[in-house]
Amino acid sequence: MMLSPDQAADSDHPSSAHSDPESLSGADAKVLGSVSDLEPVEEAEGDGKGGGRAALYPHPQQLSREEKRRRRRATAKYRSAHATRERIRVEAFNLAFAELRKLLPTLPPDKKLSKIEILRLAICYISYLNHVLDV
């Protein structure tokens, strides 16, 4: 932290050290107040031995919509459900490409095509069929 000339002169005196948050001036308090929402905001209740995670973080009502979404997405249950949805989506996507591949004429017929090759071949085949219909 950079010190202004006034603060540098005051730093020689141990009684003016700014380690106590209550003794900070308004400008210094604003600098320290800009920390992340994930930092502890209050002391734990009870016997002072931790009191649990909820006591250390802001209540859900105090979080922004984006922060609530970020925390929900960070849970193992959400990640697992998301991975399952993604796996199902990819399987459906691959099945659709396999069905499209069956409809396209290729030489040799058992040649394995990439997805981009399947799409390009499908575009060419559709335009060929349109041409045949127009003639």
Residue 87, domain member (yes or no): yes
Residue 23, domain member (yes or no): no
pLDDT digits (tens, 9 = 90+) for 81-129: 999 999 999 999 999 999 999 999 988 888 889 999 999 999 999 999 9
pLDDT of residue 7: 52
Residue range 34-47: average pLDDT?
46
Higher-pLDDT residue of 4 and 83 is 83
Residue 30, domain member (yes or no): no
Q: Which of 135, 75, 134, 126 is nearest to 105 (CA)?
A: 126
Query: Model's pTM, two decimal places?
Result: 0.47
Residue 22, domain member (yes or no): no
Quote the domain boundaries for residue 122: 65-134
Residue 51, domain member (yes or no): no
Domains of the chain: total: 1
pLDDT digits (tens, 9 = 90+) for 9-32: 454 544 444 444 444 444 444 444
Q: Which of 39, 5, 32 is nearest to 18 (CA)?
A: 32
CA distances from 85 to 15, 32, 77, 89, 94 (A): 60, 42, 12, 6, 14
CATH code, 80: 4.10.280.10
Residue 4, domain member (yes or no): no
Residue 5, domain member (yes or no): no
φ, ψ at 93 (rounded to 5°): -60, -45
pLDDT digits (tens, 9 = 90+) for 63-81: 888 998 888 888 899 999 9
